[in-house]
Structure 1
Amino acid sequence: MPIIKFPDGFKWGTATAAYQIEGAAFENGRGLSIWDTFSHTPGKVKNGDTGDIACDSYHRYEEDIELLAQMGVKVYRFSVSWPRIFPNGRGGLNPEGLRYYDNLINKLVDKGIEPMLTLYHWDLPQALQDQGGWANRETVDAFSHYAETVFKEFNGKVNYWQTINEPLCAAFLSNYYGVHAPGYKDLQVAIDVSHNLLLAHGRAVRLFRELGIEGKIGTATNTTWREPFSNKKEDTEACKREIGLNIDWFLDPIFKGRYPCYLVKWFKQKGVELPIADGDMEAIQQPIDFIGVNYYSGNIARYKEDTGLLDIENIEINYEHTYIGWPIYADGLHKVFHYLNDRYGNVPLFVTENGACCIDEMVNGKVADWDRIRYYEQHLTAVSRAIESGINIIGYLAWSLMDNFEWAEGYGKRFGLVYVDFSTLERTKKDSYYWYKKVIANGWMEI
C-alpha cells in the first residue's frame, strides 16, 4: 500500500464549538445567546433539539481533555461562549465564565496540548441581537471589548487565536437563508452583517498587536470548490461567484483592502449596497498569521438563471455523499489550497475543520465508522499533495472531537471521532478515533 507522509512538527488536532458541546446553558451566570432563542423557537431545529445540555462538556471537560490526550493530539480548537463571559454582551463581566475557560486551558496545557481559541463561533449574546445584532455597528465595539478581555486573560497560555468562525454562515445562512440564528431572510442585512463581522475581525487583530499578545492570530473561513461543467463563460463565472462568496468576499478585504469587484457589482444589481464607512477597510486590512481553512464539500456546477443567490446549479456526477447530504469531493480541497496560495501568497494555512457526517451505530459497544475513515484518507491525501507542491500547510484539525449539537440539524447528524449517547452522555471511541490516533503517532498513513 502507498504511504502518505506528513512533515515533522505537523500540527494534528481536533475542533469543537462552545454551543455545540458545552451545555450548562443557564448555569453560573451565562446569558442567553441567539442560539438559545433560535433553538427554543418551534420549527427552527429538527426534533425541537436545543443546546441546553449538548454534550455537557462544561461539566465533563476533564474527561474530554483526557480523550484528546489519549488520542495524542497536538492542538485543540475550541470557542469561547461570549454570553458566558459577558451575559449581556457588554459590561457586567461574569468571572465564573472566565474561570471555566481558565480551567480548560490550564488542563490542556498540562496535557501538552496547544489551545486554539476561537472568539466567535456564532453564539452572539441575545441582548446584543435585541439591539440589532451584527447589523448594528455598535456590536463591533462590544466585540472589541470582549476580545480585549479574553486576550488579556489568557495571554501567554494560548498559542493560536481565531477571531470569527465561518463568517459566510454567520452572515448569509443566518440572515439571508434564515436557517441559522437569528433566522432572518434579508440580503441587505446579510451584507451589512458580513461587513461588520470583518470589521470586528480587523479591530480584534489590531488590538491583539497593540496589546502585544503572544501567539499567532487568524480567522476561520468557509471554503468550497465548484468545477465548471463546461468552459462556457457563464459556467466559469457562476463557479467563480460560488467560490468567491465563500473565500474572496471575506479574505480579499483582509489581504487586499477591498471587496472583489465582480461580487460588489453582482450585489449592486440586486439593489444591495455595502455599508462602508471611512476607515473601515484600513481597519479590516490587518496582517494575519494564518488562514484557517474549513472545508467539507464541493461539486461540479453550471450557470442557471434565477437559481439561488448566485445563479448556479450543482451537477451531481455519481459522487458519494455524507449522511448530511454533502458530496464527497476531496480534490476540491486540493484546489482550494492552490487557489488560496495563488490569490494571497504563501500565507500559512491551517485546516481548522474537515470531517464527515456518517450514520454511526453502536454494535456490541463499538462504532465501525469506516466511511468516515475513508473520507479522512481522501482529504488528508489532498493535504499531502498540496504540501508536496510547496504550499505552506501547518496543521490539520478533524471535525469533530465528539458528536454534538449540529445546529439546525439537532442531534441527528454525527461528525465525531467519539460517539456520544445523548441519553446518558457516555462517550465511546469510534474506529475513526483509533485510526486517527495511529496517524498522529506515526505521522503517516497507508491508503
Structure 2
Amino acid sequence: MKSLVILFLLFVAVFSIVSHVNASAWQPRFDTGGLSRDIFPKGFVFGSAASAYQVEGMANKDGRGSSIWDVFVKVPGNIKNNATGEVSIDQYNHYKEDVNLMQMMNFDAYRFSISWPRIFPNGTGEVNWKGVAYYNRLIDYMLEKGITPHANLYHYDLPLALQERYGGFLSKQIVKDYADYAEFCFKTFGDRIKNWWTFNEPKVIASLGFDNGINPPNRCSKEFGNCTEGNSATEPYIAAHHLILSHAEASKRYREKYKAEQKGRVGVFTDFVWYEPLTKSKADNYAAQRARDFHIGWFLHPFVYGEYPRTMQKIVGERLPKFSKSELEIVKNSFDVLGLNHYTSYYIYDAHQPKTNVIGYQHDWNVGYAYERNGVPIGRQAHSPWIYEVPSGIYKVVTYVKERYGNPEIILSENGMDDPGNVPFPEALFDTNRVNYYTTYLKELKRAMDDGANVTGYFAWSMLDNFEWLLGYTSRFGLIYVDYNDLKRYPKMSAYWFRQMLQRKKA
C-alpha cells in the first residue's frame, strides 16, 4: 500500500510540474461519500475564499498604503519565523492563474477581500487608481471565467493612517470613514458585484486586537497580554460597537443609494465556534450559553433584536456601550444574508472568575475550556492548535442560528483545516485528512439543511496556501499547494475531490 501511495504522489508531482497551469487536463477519481452538486438545492453556491493581505502581495507597491498588519509583522517575534505578507503568493500578479484553478475545481464563486489601504492609502481622501485598476482586472476576469465575485470590504487590514490619526475602531469617526470607503466600492465595482460583505469576523477584530492584543493594533491590559497600552475591560466592547455601527451605516447607504439599480445585497461574516457543555450539569449548560452569547450573540443580537444579549448586559454592565434610538433604527435588520465561519468545537464548563479589579472581555465569560471528556478528545486535532475536527459542530452552529435568530439566509463562508507548512512536496499534495474533513463537514451541513436551515452557499477556506497570520507560512490551509520559492501552484488531492464532487451533469 505504501508503495502505491508513493507511486501516486510521484505521478501527481510529475503531472503537476508538467502542467500545473492546465490542471484540468487530468482527473483522478474519488469516493465523495455520497456528496455531489445534485444533492444540494438548485442554485446552491460553492466557492473558495481568501483575503487580501494573505494572498495579494505587492504590499508596498503600486500605491498601496500601509495597514496595521504591515507594521505588526515587522516586530520580531510577532509572526512565526518573522514572516510577512509583503510578497505572500503574489495573487496581484497571478490572479488569472488562480481564477483558472477555481474554474478547474468547478467552483461557482470566489470570496476575496478588497484592501482598504490599496484603495485609500491614507484611509480617506486621495484614491489610488492603480489599486482600483487591479480589482477591476480581477473582477472582470472572474466574470469572464464564470466565477461570481463575493467582495469582502474588510479583512483585518485597517489603514495604518486611521489607527495613528484617531485610534481606528476606538473612535466613532471610523463609522463615517468606513462607510465612505464602502460607498466608493459600491459605486466603482457594484455594476458587477452583487454580493457585498462588510467585515470578516468582527468578534476576532475586537477580541484579538483589544482584549488579549495578539493581533494588531496590539492593545490590552497588561494582565492579559504583551501590550504597551490598552484596556481589556472596555476597549473590546467599544471597538465592537463601532464595528456594528460601521456595518450598519454601510448597509444603509447601499440600500438607499445603490440597491435599487444594482440589485445586490449586503452581509457580514461572523465566526462561530460550537460550545458544547462539558457535563450535563445546569452550571455547564449555562456556561456554554454564556459563551455563545459573548461570541456570536455579541453581534447577531443587535442585528436581529436591536440589543446586546441580556447575559452580556448583566455581566458587563456600564462597560457595555449603548445604542441610541437612531442608531438602532439602522443596526436592526441591517444584513440581507449572514456569513458563518466555522471550523471547530470545544467543551465549555462553568468557571466563575474570582472578583478582582482585573477584568476583560474573555474574563467576563466566566467559563473554562476543555478539549476532551473522560479522556476522549473532542476530535482529531489539525496542525493549528485551535482546530479540532468535530463535524457535528457545523450542524449545531447552523441549527442554533436558525432557531435563535429567525432562520436567516446563511452562507457557510469559511470552513477548513490546516496541515503543517513543512510537509515535503509532493507528499503535501496527498491531503487525505483535508478530504475527510470536507466530506464529513459537508454531510453535516446538508443534514442541517434537510432539517430546515436556510443555507444557500458554502466557501472552503482556503483557495491556496498563503500567509496564515500569526503562523506565517508554517500552516497550509489551501486546496492548492504553493511553492513559496517560485510561487508555482499545484492542486492537492482535495482540489480534485472538489472538482469531481461539483461536476455538473451533461445535458
Confirm or deny a common fold (TM above 0.5).
yes
Deviation at 1:280, TM superposition (A): 2.2
Question: After the TM superposition, which residues 157-306 of structure 1 pair with which residues of structure 2 at under 5 Å, given as runs?
Answer: 157-185=192-220, 186-187=231-232, 188-213=234-259, 214=262, 215-268=264-317, 272-274=319-321, 276-277=323-324, 279-306=326-353
CA distance in 1, matches of 2:334, 2:239: 22
Question: Residue 340 of structure 1: which of 375, 387, 401 is its match?
Answer: 401
1:351 lines up with 2:395 in the alignment: no
CA distance in 1, matches of 2:446, 2:434: 18
Q: Is the 8 A contact 1:366 1:428 kept in 2?
A: no
Deviation at 1:347, TM superposition (A): 1.2
Question: Residue 121 of structure 1: which of 152, 155, 163 is its match?
Answer: 155
Q: Which whole-Å deviations, capped at 9, do the CAs of 1:3-59 have from their partners, x for residues lacking one?
A: 243222210100000000001011111100000011111221111111111111111
Aligned to 2:18: none
Aligned to 1:138: 173
Aligned to 2:500: 438
Deviation at 1:231, TM superposition (A): 3.0
Provide the TM-score with structure 2 as the length reference.
0.84
Aligned to 2:370: 315
CA distance in 2, matches of 1:262, 1:418: 43
1:41 lines up with 2:75 in the alignment: yes
Q: Which whole-Å deviations, capped at 9, do the CAs of 1:51-83 have from their partners, x for residues lacking one?
A: 111111111111111111111110100000000
CA distance in 2, matches of 1:18, 1:114: 17
Question: Residue 485 of structure 2: which of 423, 436, 440 is its match?
Answer: 423
3-state SS of the aligned residue for 1:3? coil
User: After alignment, is 211-220 or 253-262 more displaced?
Assistant: 211-220
Q: Which whole-Å deviations, capped at 9, do the CAs of 1:164-204 have from their partners, x for residues lacking one?
A: 11000111011111111111113211110000000000001
Question: Residue 58 of structure 2: which of 1, 14, 24 is its match?
Answer: 24
Q: Is the 8 A contact 2:277 2:349 kept in 1?
A: yes
How many residues matched? 441
Q: Which whole-Å deviations, capped at 9, do the CAs of 1:245-300 have from their partners, x for residues lacking one?
A: 221111111111111111122222xx623154452222212442211010010122
CA distance in 1, matches of 2:113, 2:153: 6
CA distance in 2, matches of 1:236, 1:390: 25
CA distance in 1, matches of 2:497, 2:172: 46
CA distance in 2, matches of 1:438, 1:366: 20
CA distance in 2, matches of 1:339, 1:129: 36
Larger Rg: 2
Aligned to 2:447: 385
Provide the TM-score with structure 1 as the length reference.
0.95
Q: Which runs of 5+ in 2 are unaligned?
A: 1-30, 221-230, 355-361
Q: Which runs of 5+ in 1 are unaligned?
A: none
CA distance in 1, matches of 2:167, 2:210: 12
CA distance in 2, matches of 1:202, 1:195: 11
CA distance in 2, matches of 1:180, 1:111: 36
3-state SS of the aligned residue for 2:347? strand
Q: Is the 8 A contact 1:192 1:275 kept in 2?
A: no
Q: Is the 8 A contact 1:205 1:286 kept in 2?
A: no
Question: Residue 148 of structure 1: which of 171, 183, 199 is its match?
Answer: 183
Question: After the TM superposition, which residues 92-103 of structure 1 pair with which residues of structure 2 at under 5 Å, given as runs?
Answer: 92-103=126-137
Q: Percent identity?
A: 36
Flag the 1:275–1:289 CA change in 2: closer, same or farther, 3 A.
Answer: closer
Flag the 1:419–1:236 CA change in 2: closer, same or farther, 3 A.
Answer: same
3-state SS of the aligned residue for 2:499? helix
3-state SS of the aligned residue for 1:162? strand
Deviation at 1:366, TM superposition (A): 6.2
Matched AA of 2:93? H
Q: Which whole-Å deviations, capped at 9, do the CAs of 1:391-429 have from their partners, x for residues lacking one?
A: 111010000000111111111111000011112211111
Matched AA of 1:342? E
CA distance in 1, matches of 2:442, 2:325: 43
Matched AA of 1:146? Y
Q: Is the 8 A contact 2:210 2:218 kept in 1?
A: yes
Question: Residue 14 of structure 1: which of 48, 52, 59 is its match?
Answer: 48
Deviation at 1:316, TM superposition (A): 2.1
Matched AA of 2:479? L
Q: Is the 8 A contact 2:211 2:219 kept in 1?
A: yes
CA distance in 1, matches of 2:275, 2:315: 18
Matched AA of 1:258? E
Aligned to 2:111: 77
CA distance in 1, matches of 2:389, 2:63: 42
